Copies of this chain bind each other. A is one copy, B any other.
Amino acid sequence: MGRWEPNARERLERAALDLFVERGYDATTVAEIADRAGLTKSTFFRHFADKREVLFGGRDQMADRFAEAIRTAAPEVTTVGCLAAALESVAHAFTAERHDLARQRQAVIAANSELRERELLKQARLGSAMAEALRVRGVDETTARLAAEMGVLALATAFARWTEPANREPYTEIAHAVLRDLQTRAMTLGSEVS
Contacts and interface: CB of A to CB of B under 8 A. Distances in A.
B147 A149 contact: no
Contacts of A183: 189-192, 194
Interface-centre pick from A123, A152, A188 (highest chain B CB count, 10 A): A188
Interface string A176-194: 1001111111111111111
Interface-centre pick from A79, A150, A194 (highest chain B CB count, 10 A): A194
Interface string A151-194: 01100010000000000000000001001111111111111111
Given A120-B121, A121-B117, A124-B123, A142 B181 contact: yes
Interface in A128-154: 128, 142-143, 145-147, 149-150, 152-153
A38 interface: no
A47 interface: no
Contacts of A81: 192-194
A187 B150 CA distance: 13
A18 to B, nearest CB: 29
Contact of A190 (B117, B121, B186): B186
A38 B10 CA distance: 57
Interface of A: 78-81, 83-84, 117, 120-121, 123-125, 128, 142-143, 145-147, 149-150, 152-153, 157, 176, 179-194
